[in-house]
Amino acid sequence: MPRRTTMLKAKILFVGPCESGKTVLANFLTESSDITEYSPTQGVRILEFENPHVTSNNKGTGCEFELWDCGGDAKFESCWPALMKDAHGVVIVFNADIPSHRKEIEMWYSCFVQQQSLQDTQCMLIAHHKPGSGDDKGSLSLSPPLNKLKLVHSNLEDDPEEIRMEFIKYLKSIINSMSESRDREEMSIMT
C-alpha cells in the first residue's frame, strides 16, 4: 500500500501576559510585517506560514503551520477553549523584566499545557527582552514545573538569529511528534 504524503499542518499557540512581545515575535518568526507601535491583540491573530527548514519525514514532505497569536488580556478567557482546540504546541512568551509575568506564566502553563494534556516537549518558554531592556540571561530562575520546560531568551535587537534557530528546532520537534503519532495511527489501522 503506498504511503500517504499529505502535508502536515501544525497549530501552534503563542500565549502569555499582555505586553510581553508575542505579536512582535510572531511577526518576526513568520517573516510577517513589522509592527512599529504597540496595539494589544484583540482575541487572536492567525498567521499561516511554511518553513523550508522543517519537513515531516526523510522524503522531505513539506509542513504548514498556523501560529495563533493570542491576546493576553483576561477578558478573552471565555475564548480560550476554542483557541486551544486541536493545538499541537504552545509557546508561552513573557517579558523577563516584569516580575509579575513570572507568576502569570504559571497560570498560562496550567491552562494551556497541563489542562490540555500536552507534553512538556510541546511547550516552549520565551523570555522576551524588549529593546533597551538589557539582556540579563543569567538570573532567571523559574519554579517547578516551569523549570523543566525549554526556556529560550529572545532579544531581536542583539541576537535575532538565536531565537529563529531555537524556534525552528521547536517546530521540528512538534512535526516529529505529529509524524510519529500519524505513523502509529496508520499501523494500528493496518493491524
Q: What is the CATH number of the domain that holds 106?
A: 3.40.50.300
Distance CA 97, CA 76 (A): 24
Structure letter (DSSP) for residue 21: S
Residue 136 lies in a domain: no
Distance CA 182, CA 138 (A): 39
Q: What percentage of the chain reaches a pLDDT higher than 70?
A: 87
Q: Where are the alpha helices (DSSP H) in the chain?
A: 22-29, 80-84, 99-109, 160-190
Average pLDDT over residues 33-48: 77
90 with 34: CB under 8 angstroms?
no
How many domains are there within the chain?
Answer: 1
Strands of 89-95's sheet in order across: 44-55, 62-70, 8-15, 89-95, 123-128, 150-154
Report the run of H or E that residue 12 belongs to, with start and end: strand 8-15
The single-letter code of the amino acid at 96 is A
More confident residue, 81 or 35: 81
pLDDT band at 31 (very low <50, low <70, confident <90, very high): confident
User: Which has more pLDDT, 122 or 186?
Assistant: 122
pLDDT at residue 131 tops 70: yes
The answer to which of 42-51, 110-119, 166-175 has the lowest mean pLDDT is 42-51
Do the domain assignments include residue 109? Answer: yes
Beta strand 123-128 pairing with 150-154: parallel
* Residue 1 resides in a domain: no
| Domain contains 179 | yes
- By residue range, what is the domain housing residue 21? 8-130+142-190
The percentage of the chain sitting over the pLDDT mark of 90, rounded to a whole number, equals: 49
Count of CB atoms within 10 A of residue 50's CB?
13
Give pLDDT tens digits for 136-176: 555 678 888 999 999 999 988 888 999 999 999 999 999 98
- pTM attached to this predicted model: 0.88
Q: Residue 137 domain-assigned?
A: no
**Which residue, among 167, 178, 182, has the nearest Cα to 49 in the 3D structure?**
167
Please name the residue that has the C-alpha cell 517579558: 95
pLDDT tens-digit profile of 165-190?
999 999 999 998 888 888 888 888 88
Phi, psi for 75 (deg, rounded to 5): -65, -15
Amino acid at 120: D
Range of weakest confidence among 32-41, 93-102, 114-123, 171-180: 32-41
